[in-house]
Structure 1
């Protein structure tokens, strides 16, 4: 069977300065991500023209003129003006080559005084995967990569670990009878037919798996203590099965849950001190859930929010804390299990022996893995969720509940979180737009890509942000329009962005339509030159390369604003308004001051409208120089 064609938009996580990658916001903080070492003659020619014009109006030979130009036209700081030194052309060029002259406006420090549901959060979906959703590897490197790029909400899909394989009767006897029985029963059941994994392998093929890396190096941990009627984690004298992380019912390879927790501990607060939300999708037995709690408690000690900030407040009376109160803290999003009422223990006697602990098999929370699977592959029904009280207790301020409707009792619990697929959420938006918007002003909601996005493509995040959804989970494995919008939303921030005033819990605005001012927009962009645009993966001859730049405006549609069905079902990542420059046969195009104009664009909301630039080799768009002038006015 031929191997599938390489997908140039997918890639394994980069470990060499991942913070310089775009997508989550952090790259915009580093001048190195935008700096260039040299300027081509074409770019230098246009900079000379610009310099002459600016120098005539501001007299760059004076400190006053430099500061005035930097402040009025570049919206930069006095520190940026220092790069101009004596105001000569060479230092003017050095200023532009440094990356300080980028087109991004100044970023103000986030106001951390609001409850945490009042923010948009840079979020990842199936964080552990290094490529597509069907056959890629699971790796702790993916967590390191996204956390250093500014991600503040990561996802972990946890499954039962493999039991030890041993022929000795001693090890055999150490395994609970219930566990062995289930395993033997499963083997008998699977023997006559073909497993899902084999059927997927035949249908889609798979390259040989690389040797397993040493994922557990230096991750030793002391055994936990047991007390009371707590479920005892299963272990043998020499080895115990521990939870693993993978995408269930697919060909993806696993990585240890312990190693994931260690990586989150090490990198959670390197790029930002704002809280990290760990979204758990739990498919493990009760015994393995106890091991999960043990590992998270040990590795995230001092960071994990496992009790209310105010110990005097009961879990039922909690209100969401402010962002400031949760600095350097890890929040666990997991399905909530109400405490069981106390029952008097019956003493064990010879006539009435105590009932032994039973292994409770497989649990699941609502997530993307419960969606459609490839044609011809029948997926087993997802078991009913049975989260242990010990694990569910960790969802202090982020309790996950199964979504039924916006009127269910749980929808009024201050700390609840509903997770919906993009399709389900759009249906709610069409049926109850005002109620959805009002819910999201006060409570958390999470949107995630539908299950059929096997190539790790992304939903259109701005549609969900405009509905007030805080956590829009994206596949960071793919560099596409969704991730470009994520970069635009969080560029230069610490991964949490305060919602517009009309979207916050203090606002009385009833609908998305009235919550924020809508304007008409005139936008003009003048393209001067491009420099060192990398060839696309399929090209090897610069003489055949004809780059151009496409500009897209991501603006709220009329139907979206009115709560009507969104054209195309909201699936498209392409902007509502699109134009492109002429193509040029060189990696160093001279655009000749070509101007692209968008006039009379309606429905523009300043904080939730995005301009996207896409070159023919858009995967490398942020690594080459593109010189343009942009101006816009509000009519």
Structure 2
């Protein structure tokens, strides 16, 4: 069995890749070295010879790649454009935060073969169904373990393979399975026999038990039996058509299909599919009302978007904007400073971060703004430039963005509420200061969003470079004057006018929906705790932007949930920093087609709302929920320590993030030496007071009694997106990228918490 089939191998572009090519790997203008690249026989692994890697070569999988860019479509290749013509150049783009690979071929034909070949392989990998994916995975392991490449595997090789696969198994049991699979008594397994061995190894008793509960003969689920399972366990109601669809879609046996039945194999494939996953598939689609005012949505937002690393020494890069926008980010930040040649530059001021041209940032924004989502992008400007260079900025924004830039009020009138994402589709909005109207008075718009100095206590003095500077610093002469703001730039601000926050009373009486303020995380937290209801009401009409404290020099993040719980829309995080906070952001915005906008719950959109996250029980319609999670088993969990012979001791922690009363975590015990098919069968229980705001995070860790547990994988999703019943949770890496076939198998029940059960 070779899941690749011969068809793809016969493709002329793939043949060039398999034969191998000498390509130049380019890291900078000065670092360009030749490496020999080739596609291995599995059709999934690209190998290249490099004297730096331990054994003299490196490999990466096609599944790690997201796209191929042709020509000079990276900063590195642009910088070497004079040396290498565009038709020789291409860039391999990887998922997550892994850096790109910039390559230069020796001939245009060779470049084309690699570009087209890699695209075909990526397309093929993305369109594999569950069974093909599993076949591919088994095939990969077979090749890794078949050290002498004879297409057969001895018991010694199988024993090594089990260690590699995270399985600790008694030698007797392993040998017993091996001899059962070795039907020809040859002392070795060929690929078909290895598949049989793998099937016995991965026999899932816990799935078989569920199957037995509903199968009359223990061999198959007839249509009616499958319907019973779907309505009793999966809580999907009476839908016979759905049961039939599942059989058509997931049953591998034609004879079972003809009987209108599902075998154990089909049942397992269904449970591991997207439909059997914990996330309600229909909520992954664009399903929310997108015609409400912008202030009624949470908006995926990035801080210091130009950085790939930390904010003291990190590299400023256009690639950072591309990565954020591809992840559905809808509010990007640009820190602008005077450039030496009249061209404004973007970097983190007064630090060692590298600089990029403002006009290049705007060109990148124009190209990538609407690839992941059609809904509007807010360009948050931190402006440190003199008037002349502000005017240059205005010209670049106008000329480069063209029709994409919103420059006038919709319908030509001053609104009582902000326009909707639907009305602003395909538009870029500028968030910056604006010169006030014709009344001639110096209004607060020139005072910066962060003129909170008077409120800062010594212990929380945050760097003022964290947001726009007080207006006086714009002038470099200490004068706070209107003329120091460029009229051309001011004119481009329509719905996102930066103003200083004067308190909730002032906002209620005088605040306009097109005015927005920025808050440091500590000020926002203080307001949320002391005046939560006021903050929620404020956000029904006006936008706010929250940004990390200046002391977070390593670009760490704060917990965004605290801000979402009071309705803050633009909760800006360092997208470049992996971890819990970005998991929460990815989890919230995974719903609604990942479009970067999530509609707030109804009780946070009502201008007279009395909701306070500190007292969720006081709101009308308060209905606490009970969440019960039986953590049954894990499948093929990733290895943490690549040392030969090391096996993980996994445990599962479930964490709830939401209003203060909902913050909770529970964990299972750990299983010794089994990352392949650990079974816990432990139930974790939670009560959730504000389900509409809660996020649920599943994390798998490698237990260590002497030091901190190692992270293995996680999955985060909104409580409202959870499907009840027997579900698989497909784990993600620290970077938020898929790590198939690693998963957890759980049984989830959700019910309203009645008064009796509260007593």
Aligned residue among 138, 146, 158 for 2:336: 158
Say yes or no: does 1:414 pair with 2:502. no
Contact 2:668 2:682 in 1 (8 A): no
Q: Deviations over 1:574-626 (max 9, x none)?
A: x433323324323324124x213225x3x521111121111223457412222
Say yes or no: does 1:46 pair with 2:206. yes
Match of 1:545 in 2: 648
TM-score normalised over the length of structure 1: 0.69
Aligned residue among 529, 536, 545 for 2:633: 529
- Taking a change above 3 Å as real, the CA distance of residues 19 and 325 of structure 1, as seen in their structure-2 partners, is farther
Match of 1:248 in 2: 349
Question: Residues of 1 paired with 2:744 and 2:328: CA distance?
Answer: 25
Aligned residue among 682, 703, 718 for 1:595: 682
Q: How many residues are matched?
A: 497
68-77 vs 542-551, which moves further: 68-77
Question: Residues of 1 paired with 2:346 and 2:447: CA distance?
Answer: 13
276-285 vs 58-67, which moves further: 58-67
Question: Residues of 1 paired with 2:666 and 2:551: CA distance?
Answer: 27
Contact 1:42 1:529 in 2 (8 A): no
Question: Residues of 1 paired with 2:503 and 2:656: CA distance?
Answer: 33
Match of 1:329 in 2: 427
Say yes or no: does 1:557 pair with 2:660. yes
Question: Residues of 2 paired with 1:34 and 1:511: CA distance?
Answer: 45
SS at match of 1:16: strand
Contact 2:666 2:684 in 1 (8 A): no
TM-score normalised over the length of structure 2: 0.59
Compute the displacement of 1:305 (Å).
0.8
Contact 2:296 2:605 in 1 (8 A): yes
Match of 1:460 in 2: 559
SS at match of 1:264: helix
More helix by share: 2
SS at match of 1:83: helix
Match of 1:605 in 2: 690
Contact 1:59 1:66 in 2 (8 A): no
- Taking a change above 3 Å as real, the CA distance of residues 396 and 505 of structure 1, as seen in their structure-2 partners, is farther
Question: Residues of 1 paired with 2:279 and 2:666: CA distance?
Answer: 21
- Taking a change above 3 Å as real, the CA distance of residues 15 and 419 of structure 1, as seen in their structure-2 partners, is farther
Contact 1:117 1:442 in 2 (8 A): yes
Q: Which has the larger radius of gyration?
A: 2
Aligned residue among 268, 283, 295 for 1:117: 295
Match of 1:100 in 2: 275
Match of 2:746 in 1: 628
Question: Residues of 1 paired with 2:506 and 2:699: CA distance?
Answer: 43
Question: Residues of 2 paired with 1:498 and 1:113: CA distance?
Answer: 10
Match of 1:440 in 2: 539
Q: Deviations over 1:243-302 (max 9, x none)?
A: 221111222112222221122111211121111111111111111111111111122112
Match of 1:131 in 2: 309
Contact 2:307 2:315 in 1 (8 A): yes
Aligned residue among 556, 559, 568 for 1:469: 568
More strand by share: 2
Question: Residues of 1 paired with 2:65 and 2:381: CA distance?
Answer: 24
Compute the displacement of 1:125 (Å).
1.2
- Taking a change above 3 Å as real, the CA distance of residues 334 and 57 of structure 1, as seen in their structure-2 partners, is farther
Question: Residues of 2 paired with 1:379 and 1:111: CA distance?
Answer: 38
Question: Residues of 2 paired with 1:34 and 1:487: CA distance?
Answer: 24
Question: Residues of 1 paired with 2:564 and 2:128: CA distance?
Answer: 27
Higher relative contact order (CA 8 A, sep 6+): 1
Question: Residues of 1 paired with 2:683 and 2:202: CA distance?
Answer: 20
Compute the displacement of 1:412 (Å).
1.3
Compute the displacement of 1:500 (Å).
0.8
Question: Residues of 1 paired with 2:493 and 2:94: CA distance?
Answer: 29
The answer for unaligned runs of 5 or more in structure 2 is: 1-63, 68-92, 98-124, 139-197, 252-256, 475-483, 702-710, 715-730, 733-738, 754-759
Question: Residues of 1 paired with 2:606 and 2:633: CA distance?
Answer: 46
Aligned residue among 498, 501, 504 for 2:599: 498
Question: Residues of 1 paired with 2:246 and 2:538: CA distance?
Answer: 43
Question: Residues of 2 paired with 1:461 and 1:43: CA distance?
Answer: 41
- Taking a change above 3 Å as real, the CA distance of residues 426 and 379 of structure 1, as seen in their structure-2 partners, is closer
SS at match of 2:402: coil
